[in-house]
């Protein structure tokens, strides 16, 4: 019971911090503001986190871990070949993102406002470390089955994650630029799909990436 209560306090601190970062900005949110909102002592905060920076890192890590669970479950499904797994990962992640769009919107805004490049790089490196092994395993399976032609699976997995981060940065404009046309957005997504296929050495049209992303984006409009 004690462990459950401690986890509840930790999650409350994370969720509250994200809300405050979103409303007031990361730089304008103090540790005191977080603990006052949650109603815990300063000692309780520092029991879980060493700094405000660690809170932001943990928020990103928590989100990445939820994606890893989805990817790992698909990767361990022996009934699917490598290509089927990759396409299922794409569609499942888009479904998850659609279901958690408000949480993701808050995260996107916080990282859009946060101009600490060093911190952003550290967070991205942690995400790559968590997510890339499952992608690499799927790529290696696709290689053996002849669906993919990748000489460096580890680097390919990292590149895919990095490209996804770049695409996400472009798509954040949807929330902030009403003049951004659907055609421009779709072109960027289709370019990402084409690049994704080329990284994997997959046949044209075999990776179904653009359609699920465009469908999700259209529902946000």
- In the chain, the largest separation of any two C-alpha atoms, in whole Å, equals 57
Residues 172-200: what's their mean pLDDT?
77
Q: State the DSSP H helix or E strand holding residue 19, giving kind and residue range, or none if neither.
A: helix 2-24
Q: How many angstroms separate the CA atoms of 214 and 170, rounded?
A: 13
Cα–chain-centroid distance for residue 131? Answer: 9
Rounded to whole angstroms, how far apart are CA atoms 44 and 10? Answer: 9
The Cα 16–Cα 55 span in angstroms is 10
Predicted local distance difference test score (pLDDT) of residue 9? 94
Task: Determine the Cα–Cα distance for residues 138 and 122; give it in Å rounded to an integer.
Answer: 25
Over residues 114-132, mean pLDDT: 78
Architecture of domain 53-220: Orthogonal Bundle (1.10)
Q: List the Cα angle 14/24/8 in 5-degree steps.
A: 15
Every domain of the chain and the residues it spans: 1-49, 53-220
pTM: 0.82
1-49, what's its fold?
Arc Repressor Mutant, subunit A (1.10.10)
What's the CA angle centered on 117, arms 66 and 131, to 5 degrees?
25
Q: How confident is the model at residue 125 (pLDDT cuts 50, 70, 90)?
A: confident
Whether pLDDT at 184 is above 80? no
């Amino acid at each position: 019971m004690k462990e459950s209560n401690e986890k509840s306090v930790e999650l409350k601190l994370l969720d509250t911090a994200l809300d405050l970062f979103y409303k007031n900005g990361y730089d304008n949110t103090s540790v005191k503001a977080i603990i006052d909102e949650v109603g815990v002592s300063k000692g309780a905060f520092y029991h879980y986190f060493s700094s405000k920076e660690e809170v932001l890192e943990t928020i990103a890590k928590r989100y990445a871990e939820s994606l890893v669970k989805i990817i790992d479950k698909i990767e361990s499904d022996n009934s699917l070949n490598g290509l089927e797994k990759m396409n299922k990962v794409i569609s499942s992640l888009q479904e998850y993102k659609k279901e958690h769009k408000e949480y993701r919107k808050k995260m996107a805004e916080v990282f859009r406002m946060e101009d600490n490049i060093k911190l952003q790089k550290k967070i991205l490196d942690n995400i790559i470390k968590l997510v890339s092994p499952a992608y690499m395993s799927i790529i290696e399976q696709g290689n053996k089955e002849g669906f993919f032609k990748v000489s460096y699976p580890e680097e390919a997995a990292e590149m895919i994650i990095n490209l996804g981060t770049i695409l996400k940065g472009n798509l954040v404009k949807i929330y902030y630029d009403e003049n951004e046309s659907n055609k421009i957005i779709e072109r960027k997504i289709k370019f990402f799909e084409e690049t994704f296929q080329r990284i994997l050495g997959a046949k044209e049209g075999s990776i179904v990436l653009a359609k699920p992303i465009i469908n999700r984006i259209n529902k946000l409009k």
